[in-house]
Each structure stands twice: as structure tokens, then as C-alpha cells.
Amino acid sequence: MDFLSRFYSSSIGRKFFVAGAGLSLCGFLILHLSGNLLIFKGPGAFNHFAKTLDSNPLILPAELILAGFFLLHIVIALIVRYHNYQARPIGYARYSVKGGRTWGSRTMTATALIVLAFLVIHLKDFRFGNRSEGVYQLVVSCLKNLYYAVFYILAMLSLSLHLSHGFQSAFQTFGLNHPKYTPAIKALGYLFALVIGLGFASIPLWIMMGWIK
Amino acid sequence: MDKMSLDSKIPAGPIQEKWDRHRFDLKLVNPANKRKFEILIVGTGLAGSSAAASLAELGYRVKVFCLQDSPRRAHSIAAQGGINAAKNYPNDGDSIWRLFYDTVKGGDFRAREANVYRLAQISSHIIDHCAALGVPFAREYGGTLANRSFGGAQVSRTFYARGQTGQQLLLGAYSALMRQVGQGSVQMFPRREMMDLIVSGGAARGIVCRNLVTGKMESYAGDAVLMCSGGYGNVFYLSTNAASCNVGATWRAHKKGAYFANPCFTQIHPTCVPVSGSHQSKLTLMSESLRNDGRVWVPKDPKDKRSPDQIPEADRDYYLERRYPSFGNLVPRDVASRAAKAMIDEGRGVGPTGLSVYLDFSDAIKRLGESSIREKYGNLFDMYYHITDENPYRVPMRIYPAVHYTMGGLWVDYNLMTTIPGLFCLGEANFSDHGANRLGASALMQGLADGYFIIPYTLGGYLAQAKLPKLDASAAEFKEAEILATEKIKKLLGIKGKKTAADFHKSLGKLMWDDCGMARNEKGLKNLLSKIPEMREEFWKNLTVTGSGEELNQALEKAGRVADYLEFAELLAKDALHREESCGGHFREEYQTPDGEAKRDDEKFSYAAAWEFTGVGKEPSLHKEPLTFDSVHLAQRNYQ
Amino acid sequence: MKFFLEVWRQKNAKVQGGLVRYEVVGITPEMSILETLDVLNEQLLEKNEEPIAFDSDCREGICGMCSLVINGYPHGPEKASTSCELRMRHFKDGQTIIIEPFRAKAFPVLRDLVVDRSAFDRVMAAGGFISVNTGNAPDANSILISKKTADKAMDAAACIGCGACVAACPNAAAMLFVAAKISHLALMPQGASERDERVLNMRAQMDKEGFGHCANEYACEAACPKEIKVSHIAKLNREFLRAVFCSDK
């Protein structure tokens, strides 16, 4: 396994881990969102789905693996960030280069930290919160709080911004860049970021508007 | 003047067999002994890099020095057009003999036949080796190498990599060099300037360098020294050469006893972007390949100041096509440059300064389409646009001749050894195989031939028979040279006058261009020879250099190089004055045919003039190497 | 034209530096930014002040020696241009122009605007070559390379090694420089036999020199005076993955 540790200790290898874990998490986001959207079908469907999930014996190992991906993504990205910070000890008085830099790419660390903060609160309130009255009721009662809902929406917009760069960037890291398909990957990345962001944000929005009670 | 002739060590036998026989006759160094020899190489252009790589591959220990921050910056990188080789891939009648013949004739019969023949023989191997090194040469659709016709050749023998052939060949040689650096067989010393050559026991045994970052003097001892430091075109201040191209290394070797040959053979390239103002630091070359599709013209009437698109065909003078119907726009460089000068002297020059002629692509664009022209010359057109803010796809380019290449250099024998045993000189720095005029795409060929395929043999031949006592860099010779070099630095810093080195360089350049440029005459040269010593005197009284010698000090570096030019320029002018004939790049107005072509004097001047240094400002002594032409019939060049 | 130049001045590698403001007059639109510095330097020399040290050599955009960050852009705001090719006509009369050295841990400042880019040479020495000794080559036409491949290799080989990619990269990564060489040599059949060692060794040296990680923001591509594409970085990533997972290395 020597080659793996050498792979990990290389700049390209580290990015590969971040990208791989990131894309896997994108898959999780799709699953999570599909489940969440059941909320629009009413408390019955949503709570039933939650219960089915909770009672599945595979949920614990799945959650552990998921946590592993999160940790891998976050920890290695922070290590990369630290190395990058060190690579330019003295900065520029003025820095103007744009190139492929987008709002998404520039704010990767900031959006990551917001999403991380959200994740912690989110886990505390929903995963480990009081689910006795049903998850539907738990969600609605939390998000009725205006501040909570606004924070939720902002966090989802951050996630969206994070994905707008992260999704397409992962493909470049895997070495997939060709005029034949790269424009499609980019478009797909933006679409994905939009769908995930709006999809998750729609729930607090609907609750704020009083459309979900 | 000394009439002593020089031993060029040309091997006996028929010209086709000389190199083979010579390689057999040269003594060999035992493979196990090669690592006992230390070779010092000054310069990392095509010649230096290729020599360093090849010698290290053989097992020699090599140290390489260059001025820039990396060996890859050497000015070979700027060569655009291509590299000649007698491959005859296009099946259009090329052969070793034809390349040899064209080069001797193109050089106006002032090159050494045996060297030129060897160059033509080696040319094909260079292409093979460069391709193996991964140089991305242009290809045909079937995957074979593409060729183009270049610089007046009537066969297509020029290999190229877009308009960046020099870059790609240099990066190829650089990669071979860096491979040896990685393996530890070459030690690379960038940002070093050679201050002096160490001659001990009658042989070149080392160099003293200034570390340009720390200012420290450093001594390096070796068993042989290779000068690969390029040409001296910057003596004219404005040239197509890079800022750091200078005569320093060769001049300093010349002062230690290496003869300097044919310094007056300087090449003026016809297609450069014209001068725009006095601030200008360099001139930019537009590849000669442009003349394959561009047509050169000026208005027929000197008073015609209309914009070029308003001038109808009937009022244009395509003077190259008119004067040289069979070669047209593809006449050799010296001929094209002089013709442009003649037009400008007649007052028919164009552009805001009147110092340019048109190079027009409109016919080619009509015939081949803009996209085809873009594919061939896109990068050159972009470069022109960057500089002039004019779009050459719409308006004709304006071009003017500029100093480009210097055929003269340290005199070397057939083994590329100078008159100092153990001091070899390769590439543009030697007086070379190009005679009085170099053909397009031949400089790259010569630099790489010298480095890859000649020096590995001839250096071995020298080392195998030389009896070299042990010498290391702590020897007294080195300490003395270090002290002298340090004193020179102190002297430059201590003048504290009013004029900068650039001021002197500009004034010298203007003098040189006016009196020793495209056309020369006795009166002008004598005027020049009276002014150079005055300027040199003023330099040493009125120069200003700030800072100290113990730091990175670019003003100081510049001053040292200008000091050399002020000495060297005098030799160049003397050589031009003594050569009472016109040949190649050397055009003496007194010696021309009635229709204005160069008139050679084979009776009196069929020799290479090798000058021996006798002291600054003192009359140098002349040594002649007679040139005989057994294989190519001496003839007046005729491109009509 | 008249300009105000704010130039980074630093005596040597050991001391701290800072921006110093100068006024320079008598500039014409066709002058380059380097010629503007030349003029300023002559003015400084005449006042017996030390001129600004900066690297430049060929002054026609091919040697890769010039290395200025001009108003926040490596080689200035013009596309596909080196510092030496940047003409003053692109600036407004009276404008303030900030000139800084390339910034990266791997490119320490030696003086003023001069930086040490020998890290690039060491990366090249680690594997940026094809191991063939002089004299070993077969006939050049015995290796057929399609025009398309040769053109693609040439696109990558056009790199001038200036380091603008590193200067532009928010993370001071050298991926575009390394990728250009990897891609050039991997595309050529001559270079294929060493492709695994090459990418492993060059990558290792690149990291050792202290360059940052690629974050796929493509600032390098925007700054590259030779317009080398980031698709070569993707190729470098592929080559690396191949070498790690599919070779015996």
C-alpha cells in the first residue's frame, strides 16, 4: 500500500481525494434531497419514509461511510488550503487575474465553512434531535423560526455556490477535460448546483410562507 | 602586418572523406578516463547546451555557465524560421553537395570548404537527433516531417516548428542538458558572467566568473574551455539580439590570445519591424519565411504619400522582383537588405520615418485565403500587431533591415579549437562556416552540428594527446585574474561621472550603424576609427554606475559589456577598412559593379582575416588563413 | 505620456521590501512597459539613485525572462502577451501602474523585481526530457506522428517557462508549467516509454519546491502569454493516475 501513501502525499493525489469524496457527497445530496422533497406530499409520506430509513439495519454503516467521506473531504481540503496558503507567503498589493475564477471558486473555503457550521447544527437538531413526534413536525417547528429558516436558506445558497465550482472542478482533477464534453459538464455542474440549492432551500421557504404547516 | 598564415588542420583527402578520415585519425580518450576530465562551457544556446549534453553523455565532467537565470533563456530561443538539412525528403533535388554548394556560394566564398562540407554531411543527423529528443517539428498529414523553402534556397530543405524553431530546438538541447544535470554529470551555474580566461602552461585551463547575484568572483579550473557565447550584434546597440547578447566572453578570450576572425562580416536582416523612436531597446525580427508569400514594394514616386491601399499597381515598384526576376522576393539576406537601403536612399521609403518598405500579403491572401496565411504566419502577424498596433492582414507590413547575426568570431581550426590550445569555440561565437553571409536556417544547423556532432570527437582528440599538469582553482593564475576582475569592477564604480552606460552604448551603436552598417566606405570607416578611441576615453572618465560590486547590479553588468564593445568596435572597423572588397554582409561602396552589386576581389582577399590582440588602442596584427576553393567553382553571385 | 509607477523595491533576498512611487515622463504609446522602466532607470541613474532591477532578455516575447506583475496581472492585462510585449498604448495617460515581482514561495525575490525561478529548472531536471544519447537516433521519418498530434504537442511545447502561471495562480501552483511539458512529451511516441517515471518524478520535484495545489480556477491559462490550455493539466492528472495505478512504478 506504499503507492497509496505516496499518492496521498502528492499534491495531485490529495486533490484527487477531495474531488472523489466531493463527488460522492454529491450523490448523497441527490438522495437526501429526494427524501426531503417528500415533505411536499404531507406528514404521512415524509414520516413514513423517515421511519423506514431509521429501521433499516444498514443505515448505521451507511452513515459511518458517509461521515468518512465528509471527514475525508473536509480534512484533506483544509490541508490543501494550508499548503496553498504557505505557497505564497507575501501576497500582491493588487491582484486582478480572473481566468476561470468565479464567485464559486473564490469562495470555496468560506462556503465550505458555512456549510460545515450548518452541518453541525443540522445534525444536532435533526439527526440527533427529538424525533418522537415525527420528523415532519420536527422540521416544521424548527424552520418556523425565522432566523433558523434564513440561516438554512443562506447555507443552502452557500452549498450551491460551493457546488457550482466543485462539481465541474472534480472532473478536471480526474483528468476529464475535452472540448467534446467539458462544456456539458460545466452546464451540468451549474444545473446541479441550482437544483440542489433551490431544492433544499424550497423547504424553509415554503414553511416561512406558511404553505407547509 | 604579420604575414604568418594559420594552420587550419584541414584533413587531407577528397572533401567527402575528410571528416570520416579525420574521425579515424583523432586519438580517443579511454571511456574510463573521460570522467577525469573537467570541461567548462560558457553559454547555453544551441551550441553550448548541445555540447554540454553530448560531452556529459560520453562521461566527461562538465560545468556550464550562463548569464541568465536559466539555460533555457539563451537567444537561440528567438530563431524563428527553421533549420536546414540535406535530407531530400521532398525529393526535389537536394543533396549534401547542394547544401554545401549553396552555403559556400551564399557565404560569398569566404568560408572554409572543408568545414562547410562537414556541416552539410552532419545536417541530417541533427534532424534525427532533435526528432528523437521530442522536438515537435511540423508534420505532413501522413506523419512524415514537413519541409519548406527558405531564405533563397531553391529546394525545400528547411525543417520547422511553427515560427518557433529556435525555441523548440533549444528546449530540446536544454532538456538533454537538464537530464545530465539531474544525473549529476553536469553542474549548472546560471547568473554567472565570465570575466576572464585562465591560460596556464600555454593552454586554456579555467575561467573566472562573477556571480551576478552576490557579486563574488568565482574561479573554475578545467582541462578545456568551450566558448559558446554567441555573436556580437549588439555592438550596434539596436539589433535583433537579446539584451544580454554581448561580446564579453569572446573578447576577453581574444585579449588572452585567441585570434578574432572576420569581425566585419555582420549580417543585416532585411525583414525587421522598423525603428519607432530613440527609446527603443531592440529591434524585432519578422521571419524571413514571410518573403515566401509577401511581396516587397515601395511607391514609384518618392513624393507619393498616399496610404498603401490607395496606391494602384501601376504606381508601385516591386523592386526585388524587378531587379532579380529569377529569385524575386527570395534573394539572400544581404541582397534584400541592400536593395531596401537603395530604395530608402532614393527617398522612396515609407511610414512615418520614411525608414521602411512594404511587405504586402494582399496577393497571397487573395490567392490562398486568410486562414491559410494565418496558419503559416499567425504568430508573426500577431507579433507585428503587438508592436505596431497595425493589422497586417489589412495593411501591408512595414519592414526595415536590422543587424541580426555576426559571421565573424574567434578563429577556429577544423577541430573548432582557437589559437589557444584547449580553448574551443562553437556556434555563432566562432568565425564559422558561413563566410561573409549566412543563409537563412543555417545558424541553428551550425550551432547544433558543432555541439552534438563535432566537439565530442575533436575535444577527445585534443584531450587524448594533451599533456595537462594538474591545476586547481586555488592556483595563483586564478587569484591574479580574480584581483584584476575585481579591480575592473572597482574602476567602473569609481568613475562617478555623468553619462550612463546606455548613453555610451547608444552613441557607439549609432556611429557603427552610420559608418559600418549596411554600406561602408573608407572615409566613414576612418571617421569611425578616429571617434571610437575618443568615446572610449570619455567612457572611462565620465561613466556613472550606482551601487556596489557586491550585489545584483545590472547597471554595473551593462557598463562592463559596453566597455568591451568600445574596444571591440575598433577591431570591427579596422577589419572593415582593411577588406577592400565587397562580399556578403560586408559592402564597401568603393567596390561595386555598375548595377550596384557587391564586387569581390578574390585575388587579394580570398582569406580569413584573423586578428591578434596587441593591446587596447594598439594596432592588432593580422594573420591570414588563405581560402582555396577546389570543390566549388569561384563565381560572382548572381541572383538575377 | 506621463505615468506614475509604484514599483516594488527590495535591496536583496534577506531584507523586506515595499512599493515606491515614481513619476516618469516622456513616454510614447509604442514603448513597452520595460522600455518605460529603462527610461525611469536612466532618470534614476542621472540622479545617482539605484535603478530598478528587473529581468528581461529577448524583448520579443520568447525567452521567458521578463516577469512583472502589472496592476495585478502577470505580464499585464493584455491577452497572450509577455511584459516585454506590453505597449504603453494600453494605458491611460497619467495612470498609476503598480509593478510587483512574481510572488511565490518557490520564486524568492533576489532584488526589486528579479526573482529566482531555478525551481523550474530542477523540475525539468527531474524528468522533463527524453532519454536519448547523441548518436542513437533513428532516421527522423521512421517515427510517424500525425499532423494533429504534432500540432497538439507543439501547443504544449510553446511554453516559455516564464512562470506567469505560478504568479497568476491564487495558490502559486506550477501545474500548467509542469503539465505543458508532460503533455508535450506524452503526446510524442518518442516520449511514451518514459511517461510514468517522468510524471512521477516531475510531480515529486514540483511539490518539493513548495508550489501550491491546483484548484482548477484557470487563472494560469488566462495569464499564460502562450495561451497554453488547462486541458493539459487534465492530461497531467491522467498521466499521474495512470502512473500510480496502472504502472509498476
Read off the pLDDT of residues B198-216 as tens digits, 9 standing for 90 and up. 999 999 999 999 999 999 9
Cβ distance A11 to C100 less than 8 Å, yes or no, reads no
For A82-108, letters b (16+ CB in 10 Å) and e give ebbeebbebebbebebebbbbebbbbb
Q: Are residues C242 and C122 in the same domain?
A: yes
* CATH at C38: 3.10.20.30
Chains that touch A (3 or more CB pairs under 8 A): C
The pLDDT tens digits of the residues spanning B109-127 come to 999 999 999 999 999 999 9
Largest CA distance in chain B: 75
The pLDDT tens digits of the residues spanning C197-235 come to 999 999 999 999 999 999 999 999 999 999 999 999 999
Q: Which residues on chain C are in Cβ contact (under 8 Å) with A173? A: 214, 216, 237
Q: C80, C111, C142: which is the final residue of a domain?
A: C111
Q: Are residues C192 and C157 in the same domain?
A: yes
The single residue listed with the C-alpha cell 595563483 is B476
Catalytic residues of B: 333
- Domains of chain A from N-terminus onward: 8-208 (1.20.1300.10)
Min Cα separation C85/chain B (Å): 7
Which structural domain range is residue C182 located in? Answer: 118-246
Q: Are residues C79 and C147 in the same domain?
A: no
> Which C residues, 29 through 88, put their C-beta within 8 Å of a C-beta on chain A?
69, 71-74, 77
Mean pLDDT, chain C, whole residue set:
97
Judged by a CB distance cut-off of 8 A, whether residue A111 touches chain C is no
pLDDT in the model for residue B379: 81
Q: Are residues C7 and C82 in the same domain?
A: yes
Mean pLDDT of B491-508: 97
Q: Are residues C77 and C136 in the same domain?
A: no
Question: What sections of chain A are H helices per DSSP?
Answer: 2-8, 11-36, 43-55, 59-87, 103-106, 108-122, 135-143, 146-173, 182-208
- Looking at the DSSP bridge assignments, the partners of residue B211 are B192
Q: pLDDT band at B1, cuts 50/70/90?
A: very low
Closest chain C residue to B59, measured at CA: C133
Q: Phi, psi (5° rounding) for residue B616?
A: -65, 130
Min Cα separation A45/chain C (Å): 42
Percent of the residues in chain A that have a pLDDT greater than 90, as a whole number: 89
Contact (Cβ atoms closer than 8 angstroms) between residue C101 and residue C164? no
Q: Phi, psi (5° rounding) for residue C198?
A: -60, -50
The pLDDT tens digits of the residues spanning C163-210 come to 999 999 999 999 999 999 999 999 999 999 999 999 999 999 999 999
Cell matching residue B31:
571511456
CATH topology of domain B481-625: Methane Monooxygenase Hydroxylase; Chain G, domain 1 (1.20.58)
Mean pLDDT of B80-87: 94
Residue of B142, B176, B213 with shortest CB distance to C129 = B176
Q: Do chains B and C touch (3 or more CB pairs under 8 A)?
A: yes
Half-sphere exposure of B485 (CA within 13 A, CB side): 29
The rounded distance, in Å, linking the Cα atoms of B285 and B296 is: 16
Judged by a CB distance cut-off of 8 A, whether residue A2 touches chain C is no
User: pTM score, two decimals?
Assistant: 0.96
Mean pLDDT of B53-78: 98
Closest chain C residue to B456, measured at CA: C134
Closest chain A residue to C216, measured at CA: A169
Chains that touch C (3 or more CB pairs under 8 A): A, B
Cell matching residue B440:
537563412
Q: Are residues C159 and C74 in the same domain?
A: no
* CATH at C128: 1.10.1060.10
Residue of A87, A92, A182 with shortest CB distance to C171 = A87
Q: Which residues on chain B are in Cβ contact (under 8 Å) with C27? A: 279
The pLDDT tens digits of the residues spanning B391-403 come to 999 999 999 999 9
Q: Where are the domains of chain B?
A: 270-403, 481-625
Residue of C11, C136, C147 with shortest CB distance to B140 = C147
Residue of C105, C215, C245 with shortest CB distance to A105 = C215
Q: C111, C136, C157: which is the final residue of a domain?
A: C111
Closest chain A residue to C178, measured at CA: A12
Cell matching residue B295:
511581396
Cβ distance C210 to A175 less than 8 Å, yes or no, reads no
Min Cα separation A166/chain C (Å): 9
Q: Are residues C152 and C233 in the same domain?
A: yes
Cβ distance C237 to A100 less than 8 Å, yes or no, reads no
Q: pLDDT band at B563, cuts 50/70/90?
A: very high
The rounded distance, in Å, linking the Cα atoms of C29 and B555 is: 26
Among A124-138, A187-201, B149-163, name the most confident range: A187-201
Cβ distance A97 to C74 less than 8 Å, yes or no, reads yes
Cell matching residue C16:
523586506
CATH class of the domain whose range is B270-403? alpha beta
Give the total number of structural domains in chain C.
2
Distances, alpha carbon B186 to alpha carbons B53, B63, B460, in Å? 8, 6, 17
Q: pLDDT band at C61, cuts 50/70/90?
A: very high
Q: Which residues on chain C are in Cβ contact (under 8 Å) with B388? A: 30
Largest CA distance in chain A: 59
Judged by a CB distance cut-off of 8 A, whether residue A3 touches chain C is yes
Min Cα separation C204/chain B (Å): 14
Q: Are residues C124 and C242 in the same domain?
A: yes
The pLDDT tens digits of the residues spanning A48-103 come to 999 999 899 999 999 999 999 999 999 999 999 999 999 999 999 999 998 999 99
Closest chain C residue to A179, measured at CA: C231
Q: Are residues C184 and C141 in the same domain?
A: yes
pLDDT in the model for residue B333: 86
pLDDT in the model for residue A124: 94
Cβ distance C203 to A97 less than 8 Å, yes or no, reads no
Q: Are residues C96 and C178 in the same domain?
A: no
Q: Do chains A and B touch (3 or more CB pairs under 8 A)?
A: no
Closest chain C residue to B279, measured at CA: C35
Q: C55, C78, C111: which is the final residue of a domain?
A: C111
Interface pTM (ipTM) of the complex?
A: 0.98
Q: Phi, psi (5° rounding) for residue A186?
A: -65, -45
Closest chain C residue to B386, measured at CA: C85
Q: Are residues C63 and C134 in the same domain?
A: no
The rounded distance, in Å, linking the Cα atoms of B607 and B587 is: 16
Q: Which residues on chain C are in Cβ contact (under 8 Å) with B556? A: none
Q: pLDDT band at B3, cuts 50/70/90?
A: very low
Q: Which of C153, C232, C158, C167 is nearest to C199 (CA)?
A: C232
Min Cα separation B564/chain C (Å): 19
Residue of B69, B213, B284 with shortest CB distance to C117 = B69
Displacement of CA A151 from its chain's centroid (Å): 15
Mean pLDDT, chain B, whole residue set:
95
Q: pLDDT band at B163, cuts 50/70/90?
A: confident
The single residue listed with the C-alpha cell 567548462 is B40
Distances, alpha carbon C75 to alpha carbons A18, B22, C164, C169, in Å? 32, 51, 7, 13
For A172-201, letters b (16+ CB in 10 Å) and e give bbbbbbeeeebeebbeebbebbeebbebbb
The pLDDT tens digits of the residues spanning C126-149 come to 999 999 999 999 999 999 999 999
Q: Are residues C93 and C137 in the same domain?
A: no
> Which C residues, 93 through 122, put their C-beta within 8 Å of a C-beta on chain A?
98, 100, 103-106
Cβ distance A100 to C106 less than 8 Å, yes or no, reads no
